[in-house]
Amino acid sequence: ALPASEAEVQVRADDRAHVFHSWSAQALIDPVPVAAGEGSTFWDYQGNAYLDFSSQLVNLNLGHQQPDLVAAIQQQAGRLATIQPSIANDVRGELARLIAEVAPEGMEKVFFTNGGADANEYAVRMARTATGRRKVLSMYRSYHGSTATAISLTGDPRRWANDSVDNGTVRFFGPYLYRTAFHSTTLAEESQRALEHLEQTIQLEGPNTIAAIIIETVVGTNGVLVPPPGYLQGVRDLCDRYGIVYIADEVMVGFGRLGEWFGIDAFDAKPDLITFAKGVNSGYVPLGGVVISDRIAAAFDKVSFAGGLTYSGHPLACAAGVATFEVFRRDGILERVRDLGARIVEPTLRAWSEKHPSIGEVRGQGLFWAVELVRSKETREPLVPFNAAGADAAPMGAFAAAAKKGGVWPFTHFNRMHVAPPLVITEDELVRGLAVLDEALDVADSYTD
Ligand code: PLP
């Protein structure tokens, strides 16, 4: 093996010369070379350790190098590394059954994909075929993935450069009391007005043209927006009234992030299709999918489903998914997420918001929280403008740099910092990481009015 310093030079050189990176101006980035990871921590080649408060891209729910997942992949590789999707396979079937067992009642079938974006593509395709309609409604402030229909559904600036790839998409405002689009003053008002707005959108777009409404159960990257009481049940009712398919995008919140198998369990609403990815196997091998209600599945009993992927239900990915269920159950992952969220994260963040002038609002559930940073608590002006880049984003950059200097890898997006550590983070690590973020928030405070 090369000495660490030489290895780092080689990794950086190969990366800069040959790896074309996502969502980046290639000449303006300098990706950190990472040497290794374990649990909630990863290391660079200089030996600097980072406690990952972002779970990579909010997918590493069971942390790095979880021994049971690694062993399951190794064993599966030794048995049968791959097999095409039209063949029945033991781990593929077992994982589909395990998922159906924790999904809401009446959702027995699973279509596997390679990740979250294609899960949403296929959910929309199923809804379009089953209804014979084309339009799909999604929220402003949402992310549904980067492929053609998924990016067209997305309600954030990542869509702008890809607009109209799928012209059958329409956006509406979801509930977000802190920056309400409806002049609401209470959660109940926000919920009711957001539903009235959605119903008007449906009527003005033409109910008979709308195949589906897709909603992140808790909006993820765009702000950890927890739906107010009654909202998702209201969406269900509207879908029933107008014959629209309700798709819950659980790519980020599924598999434990909220302390539930599926986020929807926390909100008592029943979608027709649930899309998942990330946490299903912590991203050890790419995997996503669609959980399908019996009613929609029946539409394809005698009519062929027109869609597929060479790697649908890849055995290595499914083996890691089966092991995920075993670890969740053996180690009480859902219970510990609820406990750590309620006992440590929530009170800590609420106490911060009393003392840090830069904190406008904190919100979340389980191990999924947002701290929304502002110039002034009174005006609620965001600490950096919407979609800020370069010099405009400097205050968030300075906050993130302070967190990294303290050994915490933070999740930041526009004017928000999210707390989304691996679900296996120890209590000590959680407390230590929060203390670093607390200190880094002093940097954000220095930019307030
Ligand atoms: N949907 C949501 C809610 C997501 O957060 C993401 C990714 O961050 C996606 C879909 C897309 O998933 P993938 O990157 O696996 O395609």
- Give, using CA atoms, the residue closest to atom 12 of ligand 1: 116
- Give, using CA atoms, the residue closest to atom 5 of ligand 1: 252
| Whole-prediction pTM | 0.98
End-to-end Cα separation, the chain, in angstroms = 52
CA-wise closest residue to 98 among 326, 314, 294: 326
CA-wise closest residue to 364 among 348, 377, 379, 376: 348
> Candidates 250, 252, 274, 282: which one to mutate for ligand 1, based on the most atoms within 8 Å of Cβ?
252
**Encoded amino acid at 85, one letter:** P
Q: Ligand 1 within 6 A of 252 CB?
A: yes
- Do residues 73 and 428 lie in contact, with contact meaning Cβ atoms separated by under 8 Å? no
ipTM given for this complex: 0.99
Residue 216: per-residue pLDDT: 98
The DSSP bridge pattern shows strands 273-276 and 245-249 to be: parallel
Instruction: List average pLDDT for each run of 10 residues in the chain, which is 449 residues long.
Output: 84 97 95 97 96 98 98 98 98 98 98 98 98 98 97 96 90 98 98 98 98 98 98 98 98 98 95 98 98 98 96 98 98 98 98 98 98 98 95 97 98 98 98 98 97
Residue 1: per-residue pLDDT: 62
Q: Ligand 1 within 6 A of 249 CB?
A: yes
Residue 205: half-sphere exposure toward Cβ, Cα within 13 Å: 26
Q: Ligand 1 within 6 A of 143 CB?
A: yes
Q: Ligand 1 within 6 A of 251 CB?
A: yes
Q: Which residue has the tokens 């980035």?
A: 29
Six-digit token pair at 314?
A: 């890849």
Sign of the torsion angle spanned by Cα atoms 79, 85, 89, 91: positive
Residue 57: half-sphere exposure toward Cβ, Cα within 13 Å: 11
CA 252–ligand 1 middle distance (angstroms):
7
Q: Ligand 1 within 6 A of 115 CB?
A: yes
Output the CATH code of domain 68-330. 3.40.640.10
Q: What residues does CATH 3.40.640.10 cover in the chain?
A: 68-330
Collapsing DSSP to helix, strand or coil, 55 comes out as helix
CA 141–ligand 1 middle distance (angstroms):
14
- Give, using CA atoms, the residue closest to atom 1 of ligand 1: 144
Q: Ligand 1 within 6 A of 145 CB?
A: yes
Q: Ligand 1 within 6 A of 116 CB?
A: yes
Beta-bridge partner residues of 219:
225
CA 356–ligand 1 middle distance (angstroms):
32
Output the CATH code of domain 32-65+332-445. 3.90.1150.10
Q: What residues does CATH 3.90.1150.10 cover in the chain?
A: 32-65+332-445
Residue 251 to residue 262: CA distance in whole angstroms: 10
